[in-house]
Structure 1
Amino acid sequence: MVNINDISYDTYFRILLELLTVVGLISIVANFFLIFVIIKYKKLREDTTNLIFLHLNIMQVVILIGTLITQRIEIQYEFSSASKVHARVFCILYQIDVSVLLFGILGVLFLLVCDSFIKIYYKNKYQSFGLFCKFALIGFYILPGCIPFILVPYCVSDPYFILLICLIMIVCTAIVASPVIIINIIHAIKKRKLINYKSSNIGLVVPNIFFLLWCPTLTIALLCMFVLSAPIVAAILCVLLFLNPVFNLLYVYFYDSDYKIFLKLCFTCKCNEYSTVNLEDQSVTYNDVNDGVVIS
Structure 2
Amino acid sequence: MDMPNITTGNFSDDVYQRNITSYERILLELFTIIALMSLTANSFLIFVIVKYEKLREDTTNQIFLHLNILQAVLLFSTPLTVRIANEFFWSTAVHLRVFCVLYQVETNVMFAIVGILFLIVCDSFLKIYYEDKYAKFRRICKFFLGGIYGSTACSSLLTVQYCIFNHYMAFFTYIVMALAVFIFVLFLIVINVIHSFKKRKLNYKSSNLGLVVPNIFFLLWCPFLIVLFVTLFYKSAHITTKALFLLGFLSPIFNLVYVYFWDDNYNVFLRQVFMFKCGKYQNDNLEDQSVAYDANGVHITQN
Question: For the superposition of Structure 1 and Structure 2, which TM-score range results when normalised by the shorter chain?
Answer: 0.7 to 0.9
Task: Could you tell me which runs of 5 or more consecutive residues in structure 1 were left unpaired when the two chains were aligned.
Answer: 1-7, 281-296
Q: Is the 8 A contact 1:99 1:144 kept in 2?
A: yes
What is the rounded CA distance, in whole Å, between the counterparts of 2:20 and 2:282 in structure 1?
A: 51
Give 1:70's aligned residue: 81
Unaligned runs of 5+ in 2: 1-18, 288-303
Equivalent-residue separation in structure 1 for 2:107 and 2:281 (angstroms)? 39
State the distance in 2 between where 1:234 and 1:52 align: 31
Q: CA deviation at 1:21?
A: 0.3
1:99-248 equivalence runs, <5 A:
99-102=108-111, 104-195=112-203, 197-227=204-234, 231-248=238-255
Counterpart selection for 1:56 from 67, 89, 101: 67
Question: Normalized per residue, which structure has more helix?
Answer: 1
Structure 1 residue 40 corresponds to structure 2 residue 51: yes
CA RMSD after TM alignment = 2.1
Q: Which residue of 1 aligns with 2:105?
A: 96
Deviation of 1:158 after TM superposition, in Å, equals: 2.5
Aligned to 1:22: 33
CA distance in structure 2 between the aligned counterparts of 1:9 and 1:220, rounded to whole angstroms = 22
Out of 251, 268, 277, the position equivalent to 2:284 is: 277
Q: 3-state DSSP class of the match of 1:132?
A: helix
Distance 1:269 1:20 in 2: 29
TM-score under structure 2 length normalisation: 0.83
Deviations 1:126-170 (A, max 9, x none): 121012210111121122222122122321233432221211111
Give yes or no for contact 1:40–1:275 (8 Å, CA) kept in 2: no
Please list the CA deviations of residues 4-49 of structure 1 after superposition, one character each: whole Å capped at 9, or x if unmatched. Answer: xxxx864332221110000100000000000000111111010000
Are the aligned partners of 2:159 and 2:169 in contact in 1 as well (CA < 8 Å)? no
SS in 1 for 2:108: helix
Query: Is the 2:20–2:86 contact (alpha carbons within 8 Å) kept by the matching residues of 1?
Result: no
What's the offset of the Cα at 1:116?
0.7
